[in-house]
Structure 1
Amino acid sequence: MQTDFDIVVIGSGPGGYVAAIRAAQLGYRTAIVEKYSVLGGTCTNVGCIPSKALLDSSHHYHDILHKVGKMGIEVESAKVNFTQLIDRKAGVVKANTEGLNFLMKKNKIQVLSGVGSFANNTQLKIKAADGTEKTVSSTYFIIATGSKPATISGVEIDKKRIITSTEALSLKEMPSSMVIIGGGIIGVEMASVFSRIGVKVSIVEYTDSLIATMDRELGKELNKILSKQGIEIFVSSKVQSAKNNGDSATVSYKDAGGNEQQITADYCLVAVGRKPYTTGLGIENTKVKLDDRGRVDVNDHLQTAEPNIYALGDAIKGPMLAHKAEDEGVFVVETINGQHPHINYDRIPGVVYTWPEVASVGFSEEQLKEKGIGYRKGKFPFLASGRARASDDLDGFVKVLSDDKYGEILGVHIIGARAADLIAQAVIAMEFEITDLDMGKIPYAHPTFSETLKDAFLAASGRGAINT
Structure 2
Amino acid sequence: MAAPMRRFASFIHHINRSNSLLMSGRSRVICQRCRYLSSLEHHDYDLAVIGGGSGGLACAKEAASYNKKIVVLDYVEPTPNGTQWGLGGTCVNVGCIPKKLMHQASLLGEAIEDSRHYGWKVPTDINHSWEEMVEAVQNHVRSLNWGHRVQLKDKRVEYLNAKGTFVDEHTVKAVMRNGDERTLTAGNIVLATGMRPRYPTNVPGAVEHSMTSDDLFSLTKSPGKTLVIGGSYVALECAGFLKGLDLPVTVMVRSICLRGFDQQMAGLVTGYMEDTGIEFLWQSTPKSLERNNDGTISVRWSDCRGHEEMDTFDTVLFAIGRDPQTTKLGLENTSVKLHSNGKILGRNEQSSVPHIYAIGDILEGCNELTPVAIKAGKLLAHRLFGGRSEVMDYEKVATTVFTPLEYGTVGLSEEDAIQRYQEDDLEIYHAFYKPLEYSVADRSSDQCYIKAICLREGEQRILGLHIVGPNAGEIIQGFAVAIKCGVSYRQLASTVGVHPTCAEELVKLHITKRSGLDPTVTGC
Same fold (TM over 0.5): yes
Q: Which moved more, 1:426-435 or 1:147-156?
A: 147-156
Residue matched to 2:19 = none
Residue matched to 1:312 = 359
Match of 2:90, SS state, is helix
Residue identity opposite 2:74 in structure 1:
E
Change beyond 3 A, Cα 1:163–1:83: same
Residue matched to 2:137 = 89
* 1:39-78 CA distance string (max 9 Å, x none): 10111111111121212112212332x3221121121131
**In structure 2, what is the Cα distance between the partners aligned to 1:139 and 1:303?**
14
Q: Which moved more, 1:178-187 or 1:153-162?
A: 153-162
**In structure 2, what is the Cα distance between the partners aligned to 1:273 and 1:460?**
35
Residue identity opposite 1:397 in structure 2:
Y
Residue matched to 1:399 = 451
Residue matched to 2:289 = 242
Shift of 1:157: 7.0
**In structure 2, what is the Cα distance between the partners aligned to 1:387 and 1:454?**
19
Match of 1:346, SS state, is coil
Residue matched to 1:63 = 111
**In structure 1, what is the Cα distance between the partners aligned to 2:252 and 2:129?**
28
Change beyond 3 A, Cα 1:157–1:215: farther
Change beyond 3 A, Cα 1:355–1:31: same
**In structure 1, what is the Cα distance between the partners aligned to 2:208 and 2:175?**
28
Which one of 398, 404, 407 corresponds to residue 358 of structure 1? 407
**In structure 2, what is the Cα distance between the partners aligned to 1:235 and 1:212?**
14
Match of 2:228, SS state, is strand
Residue matched to 1:375 = 426
Residue identity opposite 1:289 in structure 2:
K
**In structure 2, what is the Cα distance between the partners aligned to 1:421 and 1:157?**
41
Change beyond 3 A, Cα 1:388–1:378: farther
**Contact 2:253-2:284 at 8 Å conserved across structures:** yes
TM alignment of 1:140-289, pairs within 5 A? 140-155=188-203, 161-207=209-255, 209-246=256-293, 247-289=295-337
**Contact 1:119-1:282 at 8 Å conserved across structures:** yes
**In structure 1, what is the Cα distance between the partners aligned to 2:301 and 2:514?**
46
* 1:249-280 CA distance string (max 9 Å, x none): 23332223332222321111000011001122
**In structure 2, what is the Cα distance between the partners aligned to 1:462 and 1:153?**
46
**In structure 2, what is the Cα distance between the partners aligned to 1:460 and 1:324?**
33
Change beyond 3 A, Cα 1:304–1:443: same
* TM-score, normalised by the number of residues in structure 1: 0.92
**Contact 1:179-1:263 at 8 Å conserved across structures:** no
TM alignment of 1:98-109, pairs within 5 A? 98-109=146-157
Residue matched to 1:343 = 392
Superposed CA RMSD: 2.3
Shift of 1:293: 1.5
Residue identity opposite 1:413 in structure 2:
H
**Contact 1:25-1:107 at 8 Å conserved across structures:** yes
Residue matched to 1:16 = 56
**In structure 2, what is the Cα distance between the partners aligned to 1:91 and 1:159?**
28
Higher Cα Rg, which structure: 2
Match of 2:345, SS state, is coil
* 1:197-223 CA distance string (max 9 Å, x none): 22211101111x322321111111112
Shift of 1:349: 2.0
Aligned pair 1:410/2:450, yes or no? no
**In structure 1, what is the Cα distance between the partners aligned to 2:305 and 2:315?**
25
Shift of 1:7: 1.0
TM alignment of 1:19-38, pairs within 5 A? 19-36=59-76, 38=86
**In structure 2, what is the Cα distance between the partners aligned to 1:237 and 1:462?**
35
Change beyond 3 A, Cα 1:24–1:392: farther
Q: Which moved more, 1:329-338 or 1:17-26?
A: 329-338
Match of 1:218, SS state, is helix
**In structure 2, what is the Cα distance between the partners aligned to 1:251 and 1:368?**
40
Q: Which moved more, 1:150-159 or 1:408-417?
A: 150-159
**Contact 2:230-2:320 at 8 Å conserved across structures:** yes
**Contact 2:348-2:391 at 8 Å conserved across structures:** no
* Number of aligned residue pairs: 462
TM alignment of 1:407-446, pairs within 5 A? 407-446=460-499
**In structure 1, what is the Cα distance between the partners aligned to 2:212 and 2:56?**
23
Match of 1:301, SS state, is coil
* TM-score, normalised by the number of residues in structure 2: 0.83
**Contact 1:378-1:459 at 8 Å conserved across structures:** yes
Match of 1:401, SS state, is strand
**Contact 2:194-2:325 at 8 Å conserved across structures:** yes
Match of 1:335, SS state, is helix
Match of 1:343, SS state, is coil
Shift of 1:19: 0.9
Residue identity opposite 2:407 in structure 1:
V
Change beyond 3 A, Cα 1:328–1:244: farther
**In structure 1, what is the Cα distance between the partners aligned to 2:456 and 2:174?**
56
Aligned pair 1:133/2:174, yes or no? no
Residue identity opposite 1:416 in structure 2:
G
Match of 2:403, SS state, is coil
Residue identity opposite 2:290 in structure 1:
K
**Contact 2:74-2:163 at 8 Å conserved across structures:** yes
Shift of 1:390: 6.8
* 1:347-397 CA distance string (max 9 Å, x none): 1123211122111121111122233432111113231x5466478774511
Change beyond 3 A, Cα 1:392–1:450: farther
**In structure 1, what is the Cα distance between the partners aligned to 2:359 and 2:122?**
49
Residue matched to 1:447 = 500
Residue matched to 1:331 = 379
**In structure 2, what is the Cα distance between the partners aligned to 1:9 and 1:429?**
34
